Amino acid sequence: MARKDLLDIASLHREEIEFLLDQSTSFKKLFTRSVKKIPALEGKSVLMLFYEASTRTHSSFEVAAKRLSAEVTNFNVDHSSITKGESVRETIETLQAMRTDYIVVRHSHSGLPGMIARQTTASVINAGDGAHEHPTQALLDAFTIKEKFPDPRGKKVLIIGDILHSRVARSTSTLLQKLGVEVAYLGPGSLVPKYVPASIPRFTDYEAAMAWAPDVVYLLRVQMERQDVQFFPSVREYHRVYGITNTRLAEISDRGLYIMHPGPVNRGVELCDAVMDYERSLITNQVENGISVRMAVLDWLTPGGEFPKQEAYAAQQRAGSPVTMP
């Protein structure tokens, strides 16, 4: 099935996920060759539309697109007006007029990439929208886990940290579950809401979470800047209660667990310095795999065709729903 856009993990089928992960393996093999570039997207254009600051994801996409021989353009977002919805709508019309083939978008407003996708012929890739989804991060996480566990079914991943504000937690947990991996959340009660999906065990106590016997410990970045009201008293306390301290690292090492982190890490908060040198830390593998996974995504999507207008989409959404309610 051809797809125009990659907006979320929730709507991806298992077959599509496995296809993408297989493709990523092939693309990764290119990296050891002296010429890493292939002509798959020659003559195609990729527009980078980042309303939120990002170094890693932005450059990962850029490298991926260039290795596929695509032209990459950065759309310079006027940061002074990014909070105004009006300017986003006008930007969408501008984007459509430019007729680029791919748009990679990051925005603090959940759902906004979907809106762009419905109003452009370009393939839209969600590079993170609010606390909603970050699908390529989930794909690279799954790819990294599969490198260690070729059959990941039944393996357990413990995601630690700020679940409430994390699009990574949402996308990665959804994807891992689709691959048969068990996922649990651990974090402060104020950041792991009680209404997370029932299929995800919720821990607020580190010892209890470790008793669940995870195979991978996945640390989320603590985002102090997203906290309008304090969610925990201090980073020192966070580190002591939920962080990977030296003592905890020793236990993790004894058990042979892997550690992952989407980056950038806060040393002394989510983890102690020693984690960075830990032999089963997959943090740099994740960065490396980000490129091959994003190449696979760009190569897979099919731009063009008819796009339904926003209004038509809304009408179609409603067609079956509320007014036929009980």
Partner 1 sequence: MLLLQNARIASENSPVLLEGDVLIVEGKIQDIGSNLTIPESARVIDARGRILMPAMFDAHVHFRAPGFENKETITTGSEAAINGGITGVVMMPNTRPALDSATAVATVLENAKDRSRIPVYTSGCVTKNREGKELAEIEGMRELGVKMLTDDGDTTGDPAVLLRAMQYATEFGMFFASHCEVPELAGPRALNEGVMSYRLGIKGSPACAEEIIIDRDIRLARAAGAHVHIQHVSSKLGMETIRWWKSRGDVKVTAEVAPHHLLFTDEHIGDYDTNYKMNPPLRTQADCDALLEGLIEGVFDLIATDHAPHTPFEKAQDFISAPNGITGLDTALVSLYHFFVEPGKFGWDLVVKRYSAEPRRLMGLPVAAIEVGQQANCVLFDTEAETTFTKEFMKSKSQNTPFIDQTLKGRVDLVILGTEILLER
Q: In degrees, to the nearest 5, what angle opens at C-alpha 167 toward C-alphas 169 and 311?
A: 140
Binding of residue 310 to partner 1 (CB under 8 A): yes
| Contact (Cβ atoms closer than 8 angstroms) between residue 120 and residue 103 | yes
| Contact (Cβ atoms closer than 8 angstroms) between residue 307 and residue 121 | yes
Stretch that binds partner 1, among 123-131, 142-150, 234-242, 244-252 (CB under 8 A): 123-131
Preceding omega of 152 cis (within 30 degrees of 0): no
Alpha-carbon span 314 to 90, nearest angstrom: 19
Cβ distance to partner 1 smaller for residue 1 or 229: 229
- In whole angstroms, the minimum distance from the beta carbon of 165 to partner 1 comes to 8
Cβ distance to partner 1 smaller for residue 129 or 215: 129
Binding of residue 5 to partner 1 (CB under 8 A): no
Alpha-carbon span 316 to 62, nearest angstrom: 35
| Contact (Cβ atoms closer than 8 angstroms) between residue 135 and residue 262 | no
- In whole angstroms, the minimum distance from the beta carbon of 16 to partner 1 comes to 19
Rounded to 5 degrees, φ, ψ at 281 are -80, 130
Residue in 84, 99, 236, 267 binding partner 1, rule: CB under 8 A: 84
Residue in 66, 89, 148, 280 binding partner 1, rule: CB under 8 A: 89
Alpha-carbon span 41 to 54, nearest angstrom: 24
Stretch that binds partner 1, among 22-30, 84-92, 253-261, 283-291 (CB under 8 A): 84-92
Q: For the sheet containing 182-186, what is the strand order?
A: 202-203, 182-186, 156-160, 216-219, 258-260
Binding of residue 308 to partner 1 (CB under 8 A): no
Binding of residue 152 to partner 1 (CB under 8 A): no
Cβ distance to partner 1 smaller for residue 69 or 223: 223
Residue in 4, 28, 106, 132 binding partner 1, rule: CB under 8 A: 132
Binding of residue 280 to partner 1 (CB under 8 A): no
Residue in 41, 196, 210, 269 binding partner 1, rule: CB under 8 A: 196
- In whole angstroms, the minimum distance from the beta carbon of 128 to partner 1 comes to 10
- In whole angstroms, the minimum distance from the beta carbon of 125 to partner 1 comes to 17
Pair of tokens at residue 319: 């067609």
Residue in 12, 131, 183, 298 binding partner 1, rule: CB under 8 A: 131
Number of residues that bind partner 1 (CB under 8 A): 34
Binding of residue 170 to partner 1 (CB under 8 A): yes
The strand pair at 258-260 and 216-219 is best described as: parallel
Residue in 19, 75, 111, 288 binding partner 1, rule: CB under 8 A: 111
Helices (H), the chain: 14-30, 56-67, 85-98, 112-117, 135-148, 167-178, 206-211, 235-242, 246-255, 283-300, 310-319
Residues that bind partner 1 (CB under 8 A): 84-86, 88-89, 109-112, 114-115, 129-133, 167, 170, 193, 195-197, 228-229, 310-311, 314-315, 317-318, 321-323, 325
